[in-house]
Structure 1
Amino acid sequence: MARTHQRTRTRPALALASVAALLAATGCGAADMTQQASPYANARGSKTVTLSVQSWVGAQANVAVATYLLEHELGYRVDTVQVDEIPAWDALSQGRVDAILEDWGHPDQEKRYVDDKKTIEPGGDLGVTGHIGWFVPTYFAKRHPDVTDWRNLDTYADQFRTPESGGKGQLLDGSPSYVTHDKALVNSLDLDFQVVFAGSEAAQITQIKQFAKEKKPFLSYWYKPQWLFEKVPMTEVRLPEYKEGCDADPEKVACAYPHTPLQKYLNADFARQGGGAAALLKNFTWTTEQQNEVALMIADQGLSPEAAAGKWVGANETVWRKWLPEE
């Protein structure tokens, strides 16, 4: 596909290698590079950017498109570092990365680094609202509609049992590093279930796909936006209503997860001195559908992150052109 807006230039091998290696990982198998000093992070006076990339594919889609535009439109060199959610805040504060493009809500970290230390600045809304919940396959919910009320889950616990769940129903989670209250929820609601961690988003997707292929019932921690809903339709289980503060004590949570407008954060020095790159990242905002489109190309269609981003950029100039800094 021809893209007349693309600028021809030579990009460093390190940037390309890091994007290809790190963004291609859809799970948490990549090494945590929190302590690695990127050659581009906080590099004053040079056109370089380092982005934190989380292990789930929606976050990788954000970084892929931002990287593509920074490189092809603004002439920056871009490095990426895969860091778990909490350590990413410390890396951002210290300038080991310049920006986080998708945060699902960490009020303690925000108070520490944004309000108190002032080493991190908000970068604005991503434009996507995130929601974590418990889901069952829609084919099972249609046969047993009462399963979508948490109070009826124990009725079906034996059908959700697996060898890993120790005689209880299995509640499948992804990585222990993700935002999750599931162990507390199971205990607080006195459910006959055991939380079983797949280990990563990729491993969890593999298990869900296998359950769906065999039309087996399953109960899974899952989240929106996520492209898998297009391949495996799932129906949310209604947990006790979320109310402000109901999740304040992580050991005693007994309510649903909130709906969270996803946020961007920038290193404070980068936010002030990052020029066109900082402006683009602050302006970067898109819809759930747009993020899913890129995520689907990466995770399901096998495109490299750069190829997926290039394809999306080529078809959506009216969207991203507004993100570019004013001349």
Structure 2
Amino acid sequence: MRRRTTALVGSLVLLAATGCGAADMTKQASPFANARGSRTVTLSVPSWVGAQANVAVAEYLLEHKLGYRVDTVQIDEVPAWDALSQGRVDALLEDWGHPEQEERYVRDKGTITRGGDLGVTGHIGWFVPTYLVKQHPDITDWRNLNKYAALFRTPESGGKGQLMDGSPAYVTHDKALVKNLKLDFKVVFAGSEAAQITQIKQFAKEKKPFLSYWYSPQWLFRRVPMTEVKLPPYKKGCDADAAKVACAYPRTPLQKYLNAGFARSGGRAAAFLKRFRWTTEDQNEVSLMIAEQKLDPREAAKRWVDSHPAVWKKWLP
């Protein structure tokens, strides 16, 4: 996720369960990607469970309703654009906003084309557990964070309050925000979405304070209620200079992108992926089955498909 600075999500180990901060698998992409006339589609899988939910449902429907073989390739966000441009994958179903890549590949080179809205709006922010807000109601204003910095100290934060991030692969403004807002905090990376979730659950179990970079949609909100800390309001362009960012993250309608050649000649598969559009609630429902109930993504997709025919039948060409 760019603003999630991407996704993402961000994790549980993808292709097995779910994940974030995945290795760049670009060079190991499917040999079937962009194969003209084939009945095979290759989908890029980012490293957070919400994106895996998209792919699981799309894969299930492509295979069981449209007769395609689907290959999936786990790739970090920015390398996924390169793979998509080169035809190593055919589609990216959840992008959190990468203007540099869009300028290069969509506008300049024309090797990638827009696939339309996913139907889900993403938002990144700083969150504290709601049980802490009940004790300190003013903690949800960033201007009061320094007053409570001592509550968030950990062995990793070096005497400062800890701001927990997920994967370093995500594009995050948090180090700049801490510096520019003059906060007595240190950004500490958990390493992945999965590791971050584990840490948040442990803090919540012990009712300990924590301040975390987090995002929606995300199924964990159903298990650990969290309240967003209000940062200075986002205004268009306030994040243009990464070193000077001192504003909140924007709300981002998540987008799909297709390889341009696949978009032209991908037949019913391309048409289906363009029509694929669901809600935050739909995505969270599948994500919860994968991440919390530990269902295989294919089984989670099947259960969702079986119970939501009125939704997905609109996607079929």
Q: Distance in 2 between matches of 1:109 and 1:180?
A: 17
Q: Which residue of 2 aligns with 1:132?
A: 124
Query: Does 2:183 align with 1:191?
Result: yes
Are 2:115 and 2:256, in contact at CA under 8 Å, matched by a contact in 1? yes
Return the letter of the residue paired with 1:294. Answer: V
CA distance in 2, matches of 1:145, 1:236: 12
CA distance 1:254–1:123, shift in 2 (3 Å):
same
Where do 1:1-80 residues align within 5 Å?
Answer: 22-28=14-20, 30-80=22-72
1:151-166 residue pairs with structure 2 within 5 A? Answer: 151-166=143-158
Please give the secondary structure, in 2, of the residue aligned with 1:41.
Answer: coil
Identity %: 80
Partner of 2:168: 176
Q: CA deviation at 1:177?
A: 1.0
Q: Does 1:249 align with 2:249?
A: no
Contact 2:127 2:228 in 1 (8 A): yes
Structure 2 CA distance for aligned equivalents of residues 313 and 244 of structure 1: 38
Secondary structure of the corresponding residue to residue 118 of structure 2:
strand
Cα drift, residue 30 of structure 1: 5.0
Partner of 1:312: 304
Verify the 8 A CA contact 1:22 1:80 in the aligned structure 2.
no
Please say which of residues 91-100 and 25-34 is displaced more in the overlay: 25-34
Q: Shift of the alpha carbon at 1:142?
A: 1.1
Contact kept in structure 1, 2:22 and 2:75, CA below 8 Å: no
Contact 1:81 1:97 in 2 (8 A): yes
Q: Residue 297 of structure 1: which of 278, 286, 289 is its match?
A: 289
Give the one of 225, 239, 251 matched to 2:231.
Answer: 239
Q: TM-score, normalised by structure 2?
A: 0.95
Question: What is the deviation of 1:40?
Answer: 1.7
Q: Is it true that 1:212 corresponds to 2:215 in the alignment? A: no
CA contact (8 A) 1:138 1:234 kept: yes
Aligned residues: 305
The residue identity in structure 2 corresponding to 1:99 is A
C-alpha distance in structure 2 between counterparts of 1:112 and 1:41, whole Å: 21
Asked if the contact 1:40–1:78 (Cα under 8 Å) also holds between the matched residues in 2, the reply is no
- Map Cα deviations across residues 153-194 of structure 1 (whole Å, 9 max, x no partner): 011111100011111000000001112100010001010000
Q: Write the letter of the residue equivalent to 1:213.
A: K
Check whether the contact 2:21–2:168 (CA below 8 A) recurs between aligned residues.
Answer: no
2:264 counterpart residue number: 272
Secondary structure of the 1:101 match is strand
Partner of 1:88: 80
Q: Find the aligned partners of 1:23 and 1:312 in 2 and give their Cα distance.
A: 18
CA distance in 1, matches of 2:111, 2:249: 29
Using the TM superposition, give the Cα deviation of residue 34 of structure 1 relative to its aligned residue in structure 2, in angstroms: 1.1
1:143 aligns with 2:132: no
1: CA distance, partners of 2:311 / 2:56:
15
Secondary structure of 1:126 counterpart = strand
- Displacement of 1:29: 6.5
Q: What CA RMSD, in Å, does the superposition of the two structures yield over aligned residues?
A: 1.0
Distance 2:221 2:20 in 1: 21
SS in 2 for 1:132: strand
Counterpart-to-counterpart distance in 1, 2:50 and 2:285: 10
Partner secondary structure for residue 28 of structure 2: coil
Distance 1:295 1:144 in 2: 31
Q: Distance in 2 between matches of 1:22 and 1:204?
A: 15
How far, CA to CA, are the matches of 2:41 and 2:31 in structure 1?
9
Q: Kindly provide the amino acid, as one letter, of the partner of residue 252 in structure 2.
A: T
- Counterpart amino acid of residue 301 in structure 2: A
Amino acid at match of 2:260: A
For the residues of structure 2 that align with 1:316 and 1:203, how far apart are their CA atoms?
A: 32
Do the aligned partners of residues 246 and 284 (structure 1) sit closer, same or farther apart at CA in structure 2, a change above 3 Å counting?
Answer: same
Q: Distance in 2 between matches of 1:29 and 1:77?
A: 27
